[in-house]
Chains A and B, each alone.
Chain A
Amino acid sequence: QQQVKQSPQSLIVQKGGISIINCAYENTAFDYFPWYQQFPGKGPALLIAIRPDVSEKKEGRFTISFNKSAKQFSLHIMDSQPGDSATYFCVPITALIFGKGTTLSVSS
């Protein structure tokens, strides 16, 4: 049973552009929605997270938008930089499922 669907699987963005990664979930019991960032050779690290009582959270160039009625949340990376090139995972807490994530490549 796939509780979370993340898209796209891979993304190429020009430096300075906006990167958008989407996540759809099924379980309405999820009550915490984190995004993780993983660089090659490293473990995933918590990047930014949102609770369902807010619709948007911004931290620097990273923004989570949350649509509770549609059961979707997305990660926006503004002014994308080559250093943002990594794999991103949406993992509603309790899901335990990371999957393949989205591989972002920011070209200079």
Chain B
Amino acid sequence: NAGVMQNPRHLVRRRGQEARLRCSPMKGHSHVYWYRQLPEEGLKFMVYLQKENIIDESGMPKERFSAEFPKEGPSILRIQQVVRGDSAAYFCASSQRGQVSRKGYGYTFGSGTRLTVV
């Protein structure tokens, strides 16, 4: 079981370019969560997705950010027209059950993608 796989581990983009971050959940997990981590902000929730559905995007910036989790393939976090303030570590987590389940299950995190905007 390979765990949650995120790629790339490091990504450098110039201002104005697009960044695409990929996350493959653990085998058997159908719920994916994206978090952004900055030293001064801690680990901040961005979006929660299930296959082909966005369940909760309350933490996503309204502009330039989008996320998808298609029926086949990894979940993608896409940042258009990146700015320096987007530089951060982006973590993906997956779980077997979603947040609505009363039988809570823990999240399994990937090692993150460190985005640097120059």
Contact = CB atoms under 8 A, between A and B. Distances in A.
B104 A43 contact: no
Contact-size category for B: 20 to 34
B104 A31 contact: yes
Contacts of B112: 42-43
Interface in B70-111: 91, 93, 99-111
B5 to A, nearest CB: 11
Contacts of A46: 106-108
B104 A93 contact: yes
A97 B110 CA distance: 17
Interface residues of A, number: 24
Give chain A's interface secondary structure class.
loop
Nearest to B112: A43
Contact of A45 (B35, B101, B104, B109): B109
A89 interface: yes
Contact of B106 (A93, A98, A100): A93
Nearest to A38: B43
A94 interface: yes
B42 A43 contact: no
Interface of A: 29-32, 34, 36, 38, 42-46, 49, 89, 91-94, 96-101
- Which 3 A/B pairs are nearest by Cβ-Cβ distance? A32-B104, A93-B104, A100-B42
